Amino acid sequence: MAGVELVVLSHLHSDHFDPEAQRLLPKNLPILCQPEDEEAVRQHGFQDVTPVPDAIEWRGLTITRTPGQHGAGAVLEDMGTVSGFVFQAPGEPTVYWAGDTIWYEPVRETIERFRPDVIVTHSSGAVWGEGGLIVMDADQTLEVRRAAPASTVIAIHLDSLDHGTVSRTDLRAHARAAGIREGQLLIPEDGESLDLAGSA
């Protein structure tokens, strides 16, 4: 955790805020979260928890919470509320982290509103029970690409979930078949670092 200055927590599912994260994170580390998650995060002993109802300024960075839909239909009762976030700072690329969401109209509206230089999608095509997709699959990830042709799309949340249906290999093949060029869709490996400075 050396060098970590801030945690932005999209929601409390165990693949985002698991017991190991709760143990390893310093209790005085600033955490931004959805308003409905504040009390639960504090109950884990964290002292510097700030709910983000809309937008917040943090050390020259504007962080705006955006809507997400973690599936469709009855499965939403199990999934609950989730969020994405947009990060903006002078002279830096605007980054939209969509979070655990399917492709739906508010994602398109967020792209149109902020015109992000970089969009981070969760693209494993995870499914829950009989409820269908709960995050984007390959087709929906390419919908993001089509909605934001000037943006760099970074697909993550792959090859790490037992209910995922799309692997990195699958997504790369799907992108090639759709004529997506190298650099328009990045699919990093676990632990890989990306330099976004040239994306602005």
- 117/138 Cα distance (integer angstroms): 20
Domain of residue 41: give its range.
1-53
The whole-angstrom separation of Cα 162 and Cα 180 is: 27
Least Cα distance to 99 among 89, 115, 110, 88 occurs for 110
Mean pLDDT of 154-168: 90
> What is the DSSP code string of 171-185?
HHHHHHHTTPPTTTE
Residue 122 has pLDDT above 80, yes or no: yes
Q: Is 188 helix (H, G, I), strand (E, B) or coil?
A: coil
Q: How many Å apart are CA 6 and CA 144, to the nearest integer?
A: 27
Domain match, 82 and 147 both: yes
Q: Which residues contact 113 (CB under 8 A, 6 or more apart)?
A: none
> Do both 120 and 110 map to the same domain?
yes
The 3-state DSSP class for residue 112 equals helix
59 lies in the same domain as 33: no
Question: Which tokens hold the place of 87?
Answer: 């990060």
The answer to whether residue 105 is domain-embedded is yes
Cβ(171)–Cβ(123) under 8 Å? yes
Q: What's phi and psi for 101, nearest 5 deg? A: -145, 150
Residue 2's pLDDT band, with cuts at 50, 70 and 90, is: confident
Q: What is the reported pLDDT for 170?
A: 95
Give the confidence band of 80 by pLDDT, cuts at 50, 70, 90: confident
Q: State residue 86's pLDDT score.
A: 98
Output the pTM of the full model: 0.94
- The reported pLDDT for the residue numbered 131 is 62
How large is the angle between the packed helices 105-114 and 138-147, nearest 10 degrees? 30
Q: Is 33 within the bounds of a domain?
A: yes
184 plus 120 within the same structural domain = yes
Same-domain pairing of 67 and 47: no
Nearest CA-CA partner of 185 in 173, 198, 172:
172
Is the domain of 32 the same as that of 96?
A: no
pLDDT in tens, 84-109: 999 999 999 999 999 999 999 999 99
Could you tell me if residue 9 is inside a domain? yes
On whether the CB atoms of residues 47 and 27 are closer than 8 A, the answer is yes
Sorting pLDDT into bands at 50, 70 and 90, what band is 73? confident
Residue 14 confidence (pLDDT) above 90: no
Q: How many domains does the chain have?
A: 2
% of the chain with per-residue pLDDT over 70: 98
Together in a domain, 39 and 60: no
Q: Are 174 and 142 in contact (CB under 8 A)?
A: yes
Confidence of residue 142 (pLDDT cuts 50, 70, 90): very high
SS3 content of the chain, % helix, strand, coil (to 5): 30, 20, 50
CATH code: domain of residue 125: 3.60.15.10
Q: What is the mean pLDDT of residues 43-72?
A: 96
**Chain-centroid distance, C-alpha 85:** 7
* Residue-averaged pLDDT of the chain: 93
